[in-house]
Amino acid sequence: MTDVLGEIKKFFSDLGLQLELGIKDSNLGACTGEWIVPDEKKELVSINPADGEPIASIIQADEAAYEKVISTAAEAFTSWRIVPAPVRGEVVRDLGNELRVFKDPLGRLVSLEMGKILSEGLGEVQEMIDMCDFAVGLSRQLYGPNMPSERPRHRMYEQWHPLGVVGVISAFNFPVAVWAWNAALAAVCGDTVVWKPSSDAPLTAVAVQHICNRVMKRHDLHGIFNLLIGPGRSVGERLINDERVPLVSFTGSTKMGRHVAETTARRFGRSILELGGNNAIIVADDADLDLVLRAVLFAAVGTAGQRCTSLRRLFLQKAIAPQLIERLVKAYPSITIGDPLEDGVLMGPLVNERAVADHLAALDAIREQGGEILCGGGRPDREGFFVEPTIVKAHPDMEIAREETFAPILYVFEYETFDEAVAMHNSVDQGLSSAVFTESMRTAEQFLSHEGSDCGIANVNIGTSGAEIGGAFGGEKHTGGGREAGSDSWKGYMRRQTCTINWGGELPLAQGVKFEVE
């Protein structure tokens, strides 16, 4: 790993960004554009999941650092909101260009710290760049509609104003992209951002903050993009309870999302929630099975099953089930497991030992509940947090299949009628991503209709993962109902205002109400 660390550090150093790699020196974990040295020196060590060895250490934010960051972000908002939106867009354009410069080393750092393969690490940084590009265009399109008034010589319209400080609590599996979904939109909307990254992936957040600092300095800005690294029980709790933070965007488990929603709602704050998924594909008997095989392999095994959109359940029409199961069982052993930075590797490790324990516990529950493990189910004999991708022949009464295990476990079910498949598909609490494979227009349209998938994302002839930033990302039911990234997700970061202007000399009332005073 020493060679990898040296290579990444040299990349950053050559580009003028000083990131401490190795545990001799610690990176600071609180920043407003300037790094804050906390009074309490509590360190957090970032671990390489591929070998279990430390990468670097971060000094976490203490109470004083937290207060400094939030107060700076709140103060910066008062001037940032006045900056014209297209000018704010130019700052985000500059951020996107700076990310282009650092794409290679940042992508490698994502793979090193989180464990996803290099093409996915680079793809995640590309997603940040794409999000910045999207937001730049959006900065000239924060439209509010004009509406006809029922009163003569009155004009009625709607406009949108910046909201304030946006708290972003992100998860380990997309350690930088989800921040960009929120930060790029929030910035063009006129909000400032305070980011609390996952403690499993703090180093990538430090690197991104360094990049943000370069951009802010270039534009003579301070406190627009801010960082707070620290435990959820302290930093996270303070953030979701803070009246100065009108919006918290949270990505994580349904259990924690419920807590975030209740806490922010109690103080009349807002939350955007991206929570658990138990995603499924329905395969009809007329599907292109070659297409299905490729889609299932990436959706179920990509990122070691640690995407919120990863494929968990596969519903196969009985006529084609034996053939496709045979092909999947044959294909799974060919998936190369190993160091995510090595060429040819298709699946890296889980994020930590706790994730491995959850994977193994789920396998025990599968056996107890009558599931048949068709392939996988073990743990490779090597250092790091690796597991084998697993296929399970399941039955509808298996409770474990109703839960989201953040690991590469695929439950395969058989069905007879499409209505039966849809009913099983929709029977779980989660409602994030879904897909159907069929050559029938009627089957596809039914799946996309109100009689079909109950998820926030519904696809035809593509897998459940790999969403593009142009569409609104999010799900229904216990997935939280939040929307981020594309479409009109920007409205979540602003406050709506309805305006009526009377340009006449009379004062008519709406609904024909008369109120005459002599």
Q: Which residues are catalytic?
A: 274, 308
Tokens encoding 219: 């534009």
Rounded distance, CA 249 to CA 242, Å?
Answer: 13
Rounded distance, CA 231 to CA 396, Å?
Answer: 39
Q: Establish how many alpha carbons lie within 13 A of residue 396's alpha carbon, considering only the half-sphere containing its beta carbon.
A: 11
Kindly provide the b/e burial profile for residues 52-68, where b requires at least 16 CB atoms within 10 angstroms of the residue's own CB. Answer: eeebbbbbbbbeebbeb
- Sequence letter at residue 284: A
Tokens encoding 495: 């406050």
Q: What angle do CA 232, 234, 235 make, to 5 degrees?
A: 70
In the three-class reduction of DSSP (H, G, I as helix; E, B as strand; rest coil), residue 162 is classed as strand
Indicate left, alpha or beta for 238 from its phi (over 0: left) and psi (-120 to 50: alpha): alpha
Tokens encoding 218: 């270039």
Is the C-alpha dihedral spanning 227, 229, 233, 234 positive or negative? negative
Nearest residue to 252 (alpha-carbon basis) of 313, 166, 362, 170? 170
Tokens encoding 182: 């929120």
Nearest residue to 317 (alpha-carbon basis) of 291, 295, 286? 286
Rounded distance, CA 31 to CA 335, Å?
Answer: 41
User: What does residue 375 show for φ and ψ, rounded to 5 degrees?
Assistant: -160, 160
Tokens encoding 88: 């704010």
The H or E element spanning position 450 is: none
Rounded distance, CA 240 to CA 168, Å?
Answer: 10
Tokens encoding 193: 């951002």
Rounded distance, CA 33 to CA 472, Å?
Answer: 30
Tokens encoding 497: 């205002």
In the three-class reduction of DSSP (H, G, I as helix; E, B as strand; rest coil), residue 84 is classed as coil
